[in-house]
């Protein structure tokens, strides 16, 4: 039976990979993002293959826009079965005492407050219907800080704690909560972190075969389709030559 799956940050990276994996699974998709043109292109691509798609153009940092867009969904799209809180980013790699206030605000407002906004708007309906699944895209960075990671690591530690807390809050229902913690994934993540410095971004993946967005989407799809009595609470996904957020063997 197909599900209604809402994916934030669906225009690139892990979000886009999840979009395509869940489309292949026959699910109906609600895709959110800030890039209207890219969302339209993705929707056209998937619609041509038979997937039902709705697109919502807003930034998860804008709580009122999120509220309005979700409230404006047609009735047949209101009962969201899976929420994938994917929208997130890292900015900068400076020591904490030299960090950018603006970068900090963007990471905290997106990675933590944006996730909370979507959770607050979508999960009450899941609890009422006694079914649903929240998949949060965390990070190995949430397990321990690494050099220069400071605030980003803190936001992903918050994702873990918020996932654990929500799982406790809905334990008396059939709603499930999953926290996926990827390690080194080759997307535009590093390009964004280094504010478009492609050379510096490329060095992040030098000497190691990193994960891809598809690798993470495979795990998300598995978790969402596990038997109803099975809750995949947390999964750490690393490249073979990565042992932790800070231990990477390059060859």
What total number of domains does the chain contain? 1
Domain membership of residue 174 as a residue range:
4-237
Under a CB-based contact definition with an 8 Å cutoff, are residues 114 and 107 in contact? Answer: no
In a domain, 20, yes or no: yes
CA distance 18 to 7: 8
Q: For the chain, what percent of residues have pLDDT higher than 70? A: 100
Q: Which CA distances in Å does 194 have to 60, 93, 137, 151, 197?
A: 21, 8, 21, 15, 5
Residue 14 lies in a domain: yes
For residue 245, tell me if it sits in a domain: no
Average pLDDT value over all residues in the chain = 96
Please report whether residue 248 resides in a domain.
Answer: no
pLDDT in tens, 1-27: 899 999 999 999 999 999 999 999 999
Is residue 190 over pLDDT 90?
no
The pLDDT-based confidence of 41 (bands split at 50, 70, 90) is very high
How much is the average pLDDT of 189-211?
Answer: 87
pLDDT band at 173; cut points 50, 70, 90: very high
Is residue 242 situated within a structural domain? no
pLDDT digits (tens, 9 = 90+) for 59-116: 999 999 999 999 999 999 999 999 999 999 999 999 999 999 999 999 999 999 999 9
Q: What span, in angstroms and rounded, lies between the C-alpha atoms of 23 and 3?
A: 10
Task: Spot the catalytic one: 97, 152, 205, 222.
Answer: 152
With cut-offs at 50, 70 and 90, classify the pLDDT of residue 189.
confident
Residue 197: predicted pLDDT: 81
- Categorize the per-residue pLDDT at 181 as very low, low, confident or very high, splitting at 50, 70 and 90: very high
Six-digit token string for 200: 């510096």
The question of whether 205 is a catalytic residue gets the answer: no
Question: In CATH, what number is assigned to the domain containing residue 83?
Answer: 3.40.50.720
Contacts (Cβ under 8 Å, ≥6 apart) of 46: 19, 20, 23, 29, 53
pLDDT band (50, 70, 90) for residue 235: very high
Asked if residue 202 has pLDDT above 90, the reply is no
Q: What is the 3-state secondary structure (H, E, C) of the chain?
A: CCCEEEECCCCCHHHHHHHHHHHHCCCEEEEEECCHHHHHHHHHHHHCCCCCEEEEECCCCCHHHHHHHHHCCCHHHCCCCEEEECCCCCCCCCCHHHCCHHHHHHHHHHHHHHHHHHHHHHHHHHHHHCCCEEEEECCHHHCCCCCCCHHHHHHHHHHHHHHHHHHHHCCCCCCEEEEEEECCECCCHHHHHCCCCHHHHHHCCCCCCCECHHHHHHHHHHHHCCCCCCCCCEEEECCCCECCCCCECCC
* Residue 135 placed within a domain: yes
Check whether 194 has a pLDDT greater than 90. Answer: no
Please state the rounded mean pLDDT for residues 192-208: 86
Distance (Å, whole) CA 116 – CA 222: 24
pLDDT value for 199: 84
108 located within any domain? yes
- Assess if residue 126 is contained within a domain: yes
> What angle, rounded to 10 degrees, do the helices at 13-24 and 36-47 form?
20
At residue 192 the predicted structure's pLDDT band, cuts being 50, 70 and 90, is confident
């Amino acid at each position: 039976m197909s599900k209604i799956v809402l994916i934030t940050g669906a225009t690139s990276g892990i979000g886009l990979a999840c979009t395509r994996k869940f489309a292949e699974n026959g699910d109906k998709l609600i895709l959110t993002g800030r890039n209207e043109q890219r969302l339209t292109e993705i929707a056209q691509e998937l619609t041509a293959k038979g997937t039902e798609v709705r697109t919502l153009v807003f930034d998860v940092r804008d709580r009122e826009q999120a509220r309005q867009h979700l409230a404006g969904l047609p009735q047949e799209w209101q009962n969201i079965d899976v929420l994938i809180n994917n929208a997130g980013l890292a900015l900068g790699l400076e020591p904490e005492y030299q960090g950018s206030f603006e970068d900090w605000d963007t990471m905290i407002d997106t990675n933590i407050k944006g996730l909370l906004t979507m959770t607050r708007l979508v999960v009450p309906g899941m609890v009422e219907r006694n079914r649903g699944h929240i998949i949060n895209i965390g990070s190995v960075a949430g397990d321990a800080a690494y050099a220069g990671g400071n605030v980003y690591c803190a936001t992903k530690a918050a994702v873990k704690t918020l996932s654990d807390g929500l799982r406790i809050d809905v334990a008396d229902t059939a709603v499930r909560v999953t926290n996926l913690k990827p390690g080194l994934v080759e997307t535009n993540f590093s390009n964004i972190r280094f504010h478009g410095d492609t050379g510096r971004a490329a060095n992040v993946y030098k000497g190691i075969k990193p994960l891809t967005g598809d690798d993470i989407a495979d795990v998300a799809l598995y978790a969402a389709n596990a038997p109803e009595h099975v809750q995949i609470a947390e999964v750490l996904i690393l490249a073979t030559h990565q042992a932790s957020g800070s231990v990477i063997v390059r060859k």
